[in-house]
Structure 1
Amino acid sequence: MGKAAKRPNVIVFFTDQQRWDTTGVHGNPLGLTPNFDRMAALGTHAAYTFTCQPVCGPARSSVQTGLYATEAGCFTNGIPLPEGSRTLAHYFGEAGYDTAYIGKWHLACTRTSPVPVEKRGGYDYWLAADALEHTSDAYKTVLYNNDNEPVELPGYRADALTDAAIRYIGSRRDADAPFYLFLSYLEPHHQNHRDDYPAPDVYRGHYTGRYVPPDLAALGGNAHQHLDGYYGMVRRLDEALGRLNDAIKSLGLAEDTILAFTSDHACHFKTRNAEYKRSCHESSIRVPMAFSGPGFDGGGTLRELVSLVDLPPTLLDAAGIPVPESMQGRSVVPLLNGKRADWPQEVFVQISESQVGRAIRTKRWKYSVTAPGRDPIRDAGAAEYVEEFLYDLEADPYELNNLVDKASHEPVRSQLRERLLARMAAAGEPVPLIRFLPPVVSGQLRINPEDIY
């Protein structure tokens, strides 16, 4: 393929456990993300983006395959991507791209051991670790190369991965084939073995007591202990984003490179359960997302509800590669061209490990169900669920007032119940029974069905 006709390069900048409201465009007052904010302002900002599964491995299986986690087969951590799975690396590779993966994989279940070739999802260039949180620390980054040799990279961990990515991009400058690079950070995920959020030394203590999001301020947890480090990690990630963009520009690749930024899930700092995610709440499922480069520059702000499962078809579509009919997400590219009529009016979320749960989030409502009799580690789904949460996000954006047992909101629950069942069926799940709450006898809320959106 000649250079003039070459398809765009594609880079995914993927963070771990990053809340949407760490960014300036979502109201954070600390100035943590000037590079992301610029990307959102000058490129395309998907302002309402949500994970489809708020835990690392399952979310990553969806991002690699374009399938919901139950369909991909990885509905909890600890389940490797099944042999024969088709990933973004396969689709890009078959279209003539060189493919590369740098950072955290979390889909091989080798934990601290190298990932064998057959478990790398089809990627050509490999500099990664399955569970980066267990092979590295903030200032000790150990990855494995194509030959499964350990490689210790210097610097703060986010910087080490960024340096590796810049070296790879630089090596592709004069190549005839375009490249697709998935750059997967651990930050701002906690350091597991000591339950700490280790920021770069220069930012330690810098954000103590500076800003606590309202949901965390109201609910406690351990946010006051960890937000300082978490924010420092976010700031360094944003600096890494800036460095990556500078490298792309200096190499003359800016006009030929699509860059996508997002995260696998968010973080609620032990406010909603005993750990950091695995719940239906915004603080667990809502993430930042923006795009830049050809086809996305000047795209403005998308107000539609976007899911992580929409990322794979979006990247393929933007690169001019046919989107497989098997993918369960949708490309956002048509939204940039004003084709909004059939875009889903809710996002669908599967929850595991803390519960066997399902949820939908519309523009106004959050509705969630759980299967208390099922094992959240062993059971992918259930035949019967009970209603657990209903939030009116218009009146209660921080989800502090659960309306699921309010008689006044039975019509809302009824409509959302049917929509959740439809989304479960569309995702390939058997249609379950969702148990009603006790009958409503008075005080029903009259509501226009359109208000459900």
Structure 2
Amino acid sequence: MKPAKLPIFILILSTLTISGCKEKAGNSSGKEKPNVLIILTDQQTNDCLSLMGNPNLHTPYMDSLARRGVYFTESYCTSPVCGPSRSSLLTGRMPHETGVVWNSTFIDPAVPTIGQIFAEAGYNTAYAGKWHLPEGYPAQKDRDSIAGFKVIPFQSLEKSWDKGAETDGPIADAAVKYLADYDEDKPFLLAVSLHNPHDICYVPREPDAYAKAPEIDAPLPPLPANFNPAMKEPEFLEEKRLMDHYGDELLKTKDYTEADWRAYLYHYYRFAEMVDAEIGKIWNALRERGLDENTIIAFTSDHGDGAASHQWAAKLSLYEEVVTVPFGISWPGQIPAGRIDRQQLVSGIDLTPTLCAYAGIATDSFTGKSLKEAIEKPELPHREHLVVQLEDDKLDSTRHARLIRNHRFKYNVYNSGKNDEQLFDLWNDPGETENLAYDTNYQTIKTRLKTNLGEWMIQNKDNALEP
């Protein structure tokens, strides 16, 4: 069901009534600076929306936002961990540069955030929702500002702030109120960070709180084609499956039956639909104020989820379902609408430089690259390869892994354990079922990617792996 449209006579009346507000918010002539709305979800893999052809869920608002502009399917987080990835989204820098390689860590104060950059450029900057750098919710701690943003207050429905089912509604309502009340001469940068579908973490942790397969009165999603674990999985990942602390969802799903995994997917998709409804509130509020025409909207997620692929729950791996995320950006009249880009390699470090480029803010303090040229000239390659970093256990700071991907092949390397390399041909094996790292026919390709990774790490002063 598509978002409801207002009758045309109401739209005309609204336009006449709030034209003064539109001028103040920079929405009348197109010459003013654009407003910017960033929408973040948590733990959403890029297949977890109906736009991508997934018939097991319905996400009309995210689909609508994607169709409003350009949607990139080859989009990767910088790290499949909440805090590190968020630090990259907000700074345009990799986790080792922001100082956030594990959760519950402050961004290095020497690294400017998008809030600070836009505030210095004359924007009102505000943040609603989950932060995780280091505290989960600054509003819970009565913080009034964080890293260049004004904190928008809200109150969780329950005393606990751990679940999106309790926080996402109040976060969205707070963002709606901010938009409804906005009456400033300056343009705004509003970041809204929602929690779901992250609640999937609690399905294995609180098994009595969620319906089991026989209790679900609805068709269950089928198992993914790559449901079985990869052949000769790296020992690094085998060890992760048995950890009883961070990422313990893996241990708790170790004895899942196929029916249990299908129920897991059922709940995952329901959480995505829940957060989509909250995004709809914000999207409709923007349109009701007449601010949508001169507002850049970007939406993405901090990382994905295993989503039963390779029988992996949670994040903390380099499998595609975990490291790929939605990434859409739109601005009517400036960014073409209705384009799905399946070619360009996009990273979370590209978000901040892209928004700066479209807002006309000049700065070169990024490791990421603006997507503006890739959007305007999609025939040109945005980058030849990208890198994802993984530090999966704060209690054992010696564990590191890196991913490098070009347009066809993906190489993963782990710094400990047997079978420490993986190479996948994503064109012929998108489910990553055949590890080519030890196949004699692919050694030239592996060597090239290892060389590219080594050069990237030297250039970017990433010293996590031994040469």
**Shorter-chain TM-score category?**
0.7 to 0.9
- Is 1:305 the counterpart of 2:316? The answer is no
User: Taking structure 1 as reference, are residues 133 and 320 closer, same or farther at Cα in structure 2, changes over 3 Å only?
Assistant: farther
Residues in 2 aligned to 1:273 and 1:433: alpha-carbon distance in whole angstroms? 30
Asked if the contact 2:163/2:199 (under 8 Å) is kept, the reply is no
Deviation at 1:70? Answer: 0.3
- Is 1:60 the counterpart of 2:86? The answer is yes
Q: How does 1:51-130 map to 2 (within 5 A)?
A: 51-109=77-135, 114-115=140-141, 120-127=146-153
Q: How does 1:411-422 map to 2 (within 5 A)?
A: 411-422=444-455
Residues in 2 aligned to 1:86 and 1:228: alpha-carbon distance in whole angstroms? 40
Aligned to 2:302, which of 249, 253, 264?
264
Name the counterpart of 1:186. 195
Asked if the contact 1:59/1:264 (under 8 Å) is kept, the reply is yes
Q: Which runs of 5+ in 2 are unaligned?
A: 1-22, 231-252, 394-398
Deviation at 1:304? Answer: 0.3
Deviation at 1:362? Answer: 1.9
Residues in 1 aligned to 2:328 and 2:271: alpha-carbon distance in whole angstroms? 19
Q: Which has the higher helix share?
A: 2
Name the counterpart of 2:370. 331
Asked if the contact 1:134/1:192 (under 8 Å) is kept, the reply is no
- Is 1:357 the counterpart of 2:401? The answer is yes
247-256 vs 207-216, which moves further = 207-216
Residues in 1 aligned to 2:91 and 2:419: alpha-carbon distance in whole angstroms? 30
Paired amino acid for 1:346: H
Deviation at 1:316? Answer: 1.1
Residues in 2 aligned to 1:248 and 1:215: alpha-carbon distance in whole angstroms? 40
- Is 1:395 the counterpart of 2:428? The answer is yes
1:134-173 deviation digits (Å, cap 9, x = unpaired): 62445543xxxxxxxxxxxxxxxx322211111111111x
Name the counterpart of 1:234. 272
Name the counterpart of 1:165. 175
Q: How does 1:220-231 map to 2 (within 5 A)?
A: 223-231=261-269
Deviation at 1:123? Answer: 0.8
Aligned to 2:73, which of 47, 53, 60?
47
User: Taking structure 1 as reference, are residues 71 and 137 closer, same or farther at Cα in structure 2, changes over 3 Å only?
Assistant: closer
Name the counterpart of 1:443. none
Residues in 1 aligned to 2:166 and 2:270: alpha-carbon distance in whole angstroms? 18
What TM-score comes out, normalization by structure 2 length? 0.77
Residues in 2 aligned to 1:117 and 1:245: alpha-carbon distance in whole angstroms? 26
Deviation at 1:340? Answer: 5.7
Asked if the contact 1:272/1:279 (under 8 Å) is kept, the reply is no
Paired amino acid for 1:181: L
Classify the secondary structure of the residue corresponding to 2:389: strand
User: Taking structure 1 as reference, are residues 400 and 110 closer, same or farther at Cα in structure 2, changes over 3 Å only?
Assistant: closer
Identity of aligned residues (%): 30
Deviation at 1:40? Answer: 2.3
Residues in 2 aligned to 1:129 and 1:193: alpha-carbon distance in whole angstroms? 21
Paired amino acid for 1:209: L
1:239-288 deviation digits (Å, cap 9, x = unpaired): 22333222211111111111111101000157658751111110110111
User: Taking structure 1 as reference, are residues 207 and 369 closer, same or farther at Cα in structure 2, changes over 3 Å only?
Assistant: farther
Deviation at 1:297? Answer: 4.1
What TM-score comes out, normalization by structure 1 length? 0.79
Paired amino acid for 2:337: G
Paired amino acid for 2:189: Y
Q: Which runs of 5+ in 1 are unaligned?
A: 142-157, 374-384, 435-453
User: Taking structure 1 as reference, are residues 276 and 253 closer, same or farther at Cα in structure 2, changes over 3 Å only?
Assistant: same
181-190 vs 132-141, which moves further = 132-141
Aligned to 2:462, which of 412, 420, 429?
429
Residues in 1 aligned to 2:218 and 2:406: alpha-carbon distance in whole angstroms? 33
User: Taking structure 1 as reference, are residues 199 and 7 closer, same or farther at Cα in structure 2, changes over 3 Å only?
Assistant: farther
User: Taking structure 1 as reference, are residues 242 and 193 closer, same or farther at Cα in structure 2, changes over 3 Å only?
Assistant: closer
Asked if the contact 1:369/1:386 (under 8 Å) is kept, the reply is no
- Considering Cα pairs closer than 8 Å and 6+ residues apart, tell me whether 1 or 2 has the greater RCO: 2
Paired amino acid for 1:184: S
Classify the secondary structure of the residue corresponding to 2:226: helix
Asked if the contact 2:57/2:269 (under 8 Å) is kept, the reply is no
Name the counterpart of 2:438. 405
Paired amino acid for 1:338: K
- Is 1:254 the counterpart of 2:302? The answer is no
Classify the secondary structure of the residue corresponding to 2:112: coil
